[in-house]
């Protein structure tokens, strides 16, 4: 009996002392990582009208998963190196290949996409409706999974095309 208590005490201290090695806690949830992974994956299936050395993935406004997006910086997509940047307005975003419209800008989605409708910028958001000049990809929850809808009409108008595979995996294609 006492031996068991002793064993327990060793466990206890072992457990408490081991983590002291690191002071910084990673405080992000899988959903952030999951969404960031979706955004990254989308870029693998989109063709832009012209090739660039950099694939500029821009975030407008505040997004909960900006830190997770940052982890993809430096990766290569079809020869282009990913850069994660913040932009402050839709006009700023014209030179980006991807624009993630942050949660804080959800009210402005229509005016943002309207401004960008003639630029080859892949717009992604988590809300918005699908009109001809709306966001290209809507990332959303469906039951206990993530799902995405594609606005092919709007993407075509901006000069972007999606691979067949991505269209197949989309929940809805408009």
Partner 1 sequence: MKTIATHRPYWFFFSLFACAPSTANATDFSDFTLEDLLEVSITGASKYEQKQGKVAAAVSVISRNEIKAFGWRTLSEALNSLPGMYSTYDRQYSYIGTRGLGVPGDYNSRVLLTINGNRVNDTVYDQALIGREFQIDLDLVECIEFIPGPGSAVYGQNALFGVINIVTRSGASVDGAELAAAYQSPQAAKEGRATWGKKLDNGLDILLSASGYKSKGDNLFFDYGKSGISGIANDMDGERDKEYFAQLARGPWSFDFSYGNRRKDDPTADFLNDPLVPGQYQQDKSMLTQLQYQDKFSDDTLQLSGRLFSGRERYTGEGHSSGEHFKYTGSSDWWGSELRLLSTALRHHKLMLGLEYQDNGRRDQTLTDFNHLTDPLKNANITGSGWRQGLYGQDEWALSEHLSLTVGLRIDRNSFTKQTLSPRLGVIWQPTSETTIKTMYGRAYRAPNAYERDYADQYQTANPNLINETIDTLELVVDKRVSPSLRLHGSIYQWNMQRPIVQTTDSVSGLLQFKNDNDVNAHGIEVGIDKTWSGGGRLRGSLNYQTAQYSGGVTLHNSPHLMGKLNFSSPLPVTGLSLGYELQSYSKRETIINGTYSGGYVLSNLNLTANKWIKGTELSLGIYNLFDKQYSQPTSDSNWQNTIRQDGRQIRLKAIYRF
Residues at the interface with partner 1 (CB under 8 A)? 1, 4-5, 7-8, 11-12, 14-16, 18-19, 21-22, 25-38, 40-42, 44-45, 62-67, 71-72, 102-104, 141-147, 165-166, 169-172
Q: Which residues have C-beta within 8 Å of that of residue 75, sequence separation ≥ 6? A: 40, 81, 82
CB 124 within 8 A of CB 102: no
Measured in whole angstroms, the distance separating CA 71 from the mean position of its chain's CA atoms is 11
Q: How far is the CB of 171 from partner 1 (least distance, A)?
A: 6
Q: In this complex, which beta carbon is closest to partner 1, that of residue 63 or of residue 97? A: 63
Q: How far is the CB of 140 from partner 1 (least distance, A)?
A: 9
Q: In this complex, which beta carbon is closest to partner 1, that of residue 49 or of residue 143? A: 143
> What are the tokens at 158?
């901006």
Q: How far is the CB of 60 from partner 1 (least distance, A)?
A: 13
| Cα distances (angstroms) measured from residue 13 to each of 4, 20, 21, 25 | 14, 11, 14, 20
CB 59 within 8 A of CB 66: yes
Q: How far is the CB of 114 from partner 1 (least distance, A)?
A: 25
Q: In this complex, which beta carbon is closest to partner 1, that of residue 71 or of residue 110? A: 71
């Amino acid at each position: 009996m006492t031996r068991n208590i002793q064993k327990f005490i060793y466990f206890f201290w072992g457990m408490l002392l081991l983590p002291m090695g690191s002071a910084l806690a990673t405080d992000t949830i899988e959903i952030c990582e999951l969404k960031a992974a979706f955004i990254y994956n989308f870029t693998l299936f989109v063709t832009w009208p012209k090739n660039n050395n950099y694939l500029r993935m821009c975030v407008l406004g505040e997004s909960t998963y900006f830190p997770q997006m940052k982890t993809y910086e430096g990766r290569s997509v079809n020869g282009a190196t990913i850069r994660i940047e913040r932009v402050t307005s839709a006009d700023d975003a014209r030179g980006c290949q991807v624009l993630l419209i942050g949660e804080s800008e959800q009210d402005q989605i229509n005016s943002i996409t309207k401004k960008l409708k003639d630029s080859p910028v892949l717009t992604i958001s988590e809300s918005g409706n699908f009109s001809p000049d709306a966001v290209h990809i809507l990332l959303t929850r469906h039951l206990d999974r993530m799902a995405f809808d594609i606005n092919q009409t709007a993407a075509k108008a901006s000069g972007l095309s999606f691979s067949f595979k991505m269209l197949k995996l989309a929940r809805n294609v408009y």
